[in-house]
């Protein structure tokens, strides 16, 4: 199931009827997809709407898993869900973003699974908190040493995420990879994009970055879906997405002189940046001494705002990312202030 990279898990946001589940399973067979997702219990932000088919849906899941030779993945939120799934031969689970937020619940679900699941996917928590995500993965691994555990990246709620429903914040994914190089990471482009027309570009980014799998919502008739209607793909779009997926080699394996020459250039440029930062720090220290002698405050709001505006305007003229340069300059400024604070405290 996980041999190809990226491997695909797809299916509806929610199981809605036996007919819908059969139509989805048939499409998965035709697209040679071996794993189907479907939500049975749906934790919705606000009450009063469809909250999943429950145990009835598990019967549909069990039937299609058997008749279409698929592995069905579903979300378990309460410990009772685990037992109900296992009673219906469903043993591929995911932990949802709202559950990952709660270490106590994750621990309880993990203990209840007690190594009876084949695969467990752990979604990132809603907030950009890597520790919480990592902690949930560790809690799941603790009681399930024989299960295959993957991280599932569904983006983060940052209040205003711009064009996407959830901001991908790829840096957090790179950081997770750094801490746990052994862990496979799956991307959920559907919950990041929030709109069907943006799903393929997020999936291609994940694939270009070398992530291991894709978890994509699809539906026989997305416009009629009871949950997440805007972001589910119809089977034609899913087929196109897969057909156009960029398949990349791990770039460490590339023996390519052109790439190596360019990387050498980057190394030289980075050393120049570091030398400039060193020179900058020397000046900052002299200024720090001067401020101390003259009993001046270390932080000056006017100077801070004016220099930030100037750097961002220059960045724009130079074709650099204004958002990126603003972030870099805020860090440089904050490090300079810290340096001068230390000087002000010296006896
Ligand atoms: C889902 O995958 O259908 C889901 C509810 O996702 P999340 O936990 O990422 O919101
Ligand atoms: Mn969904």
For residue range 262-289, what is the model confidence (pLDDT) as tens digits? 999 999 999 999 999 999 999 999 999 9
Query: Which of 154, 164, 165, 190 maximizes ligand 1 atoms within 8 Å of its Cβ, making it the mutation to test the pocket?
Result: 154
Cα 39 to middle of ligand 1, angstroms: 8
**Does residue 151 surpass a pLDDT of 60?**
yes
Average pLDDT over residues 159-183: 91
**Does residue 256 surpass a pLDDT of 80?**
no
Average pLDDT, the chain: 95
Average pLDDT over residues 298-324: 96
pLDDT of residue 161: 59
Residue for token digits 């961002």?
Answer: 312
CB-ligand 1 contact for 9 (6 Å cutoff): no
Query: Which of 74, 75, 194 maximizes ligand 1 atoms within 8 Å of its Cβ, making it the mutation to test the pocket?
Result: 75
Label residue 250 by pLDDT band (50, 70, 90).
low
pTM: 0.84
- For residues 110 and 142, is the Cβ–Cβ distance under 8 A? yes
- For residues 41 and 51, is the Cβ–Cβ distance under 8 A? yes
Cα 309 to middle of ligand 2, angstroms: 41
Measured from the Cα of 98, ligand 1's closest atom is 8
Nearest CA to ligand 1 atom 6: 96
Measured from the Cα of 39, ligand 1's closest atom is 3
Output the CA–CA distances (angstroms, integers) from residue 237 to 24, 163, 203, 243, 304, in the order listed.
Answer: 14, 20, 13, 10, 49
Classified as helix, coil or strand, 156 is strand
CB-ligand 1 contact for 123 (6 Å cutoff): yes
Task: Quickly count: other Cβ atoms within 10 Å of residue 37's Cβ.
Answer: 26
Average pLDDT over residues 285-314: 96
pLDDT of residue 263: 92
Distance of CA 217 to the CA centre of its chain: 15
d(CA 84, CA 223): 30
Average pLDDT over residues 169-194: 97
Label residue 260 by pLDDT band (50, 70, 90).
confident
Nearest CA to ligand 1 atom 10: 97
pLDDT tens, 101-149? 999 999 999 999 999 999 999 999 999 999 999 999 999 999 999 999 9
- Concatenate the DSSP letters of all residues of 168-230 into one string: --HHHHHHHHHH-TTS-EEE-HHHHH-SHHHHHHHHHHHHHTT-SEEEEEB-SSGGG-SS-GG
Measured from the Cα of 14, ligand 1's closest atom is 3
Measured from the Cα of 155, ligand 1's closest atom is 9
pLDDT tens, 38-83? 999 998 888 889 999 999 999 999 999 999 999 999 999 999 999 9
**Does residue 229 surpass a pLDDT of 60?**
yes
Nearest CA to ligand 1 atom 2: 13
pLDDT tens, 23-35? 999 999 999 999 9
Cα 342 to middle of ligand 1, angstroms: 47
CB-ligand 1 contact for 96 (6 Å cutoff): yes
Nearest CA to ligand 1 atom 4: 96
Measured from the Cα of 37, ligand 1's closest atom is 2
Cα 214 to middle of ligand 1, angstroms: 14
Label residue 220 by pLDDT band (50, 70, 90).
very high
């Amino acid at each position: 199931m996980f041999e190809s990279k990226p491997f695909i898990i797809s299916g509806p946001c929610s199981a809605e009827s036996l007919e819908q589940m059969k139509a989805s399973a048939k499409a998965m067979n035709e697209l040679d997809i071996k794993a189907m997702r479907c939500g049975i219990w749906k934790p919705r932000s606000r009450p009063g709407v469809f909250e999943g088919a429950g145990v009835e849906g598990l019967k549909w899941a069990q039937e299609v898993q058997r008749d279409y030779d698929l592995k069905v993945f579903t979300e378990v939120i309460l410990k009772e869900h685990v037992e109900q799934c296992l009673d219906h031969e469903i043993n591929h689970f995911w932990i949802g973003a709202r559950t990952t937020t709660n270490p106590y619940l994750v621990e309880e679900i993990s203990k209840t699974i007690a190594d009876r699941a084949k695969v467990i996917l752990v979604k990132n928590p809603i907030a950009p908190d890597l520790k919480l995500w990592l902690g949930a993965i560790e809690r799941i691994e603790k009681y399930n040493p024989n299960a295959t555990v993957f991280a599932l990246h569904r983006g983060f709620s940052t209040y205003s995420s711009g064009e996407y429903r959830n901001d991908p914040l790829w840096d957090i994914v790179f950081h997770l990879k750094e801490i746990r190089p052994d862990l496979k990471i799956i991307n959920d482009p559907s919950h990041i994009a929030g709109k069907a027309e943006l799903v393929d570009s997020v999936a291609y980014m994940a694939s270009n970055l070398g992530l291991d799998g894709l978890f994509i919502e699809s539906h026989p008739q997305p416009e009629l879906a009871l949950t997440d209607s805007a972001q589910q793909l119809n089977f034609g779009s899913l087929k196109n997405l897969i057909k156009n997926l960029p398949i990349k080699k791990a770039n460490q394996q590339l023996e390519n002189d052109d790439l190596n020459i360019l990387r050498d250039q980057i190394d030289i440029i980075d050393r120049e940046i570091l030398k400039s930062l060193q020179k900058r720090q020397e000046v900052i220290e002299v200024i720090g001494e001067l401020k101390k002698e003259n009993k001046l405050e270390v932080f000056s709001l006017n100077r801070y705002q004016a220099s930030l505006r100037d750097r961002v305007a220059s960045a724009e003229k130079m074709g650099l990312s204004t958002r990126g340069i603003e972030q870099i300059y805020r860090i440089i400024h904050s490090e300079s202030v810290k340096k001068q604070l230390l000087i002000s405290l010296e006896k």
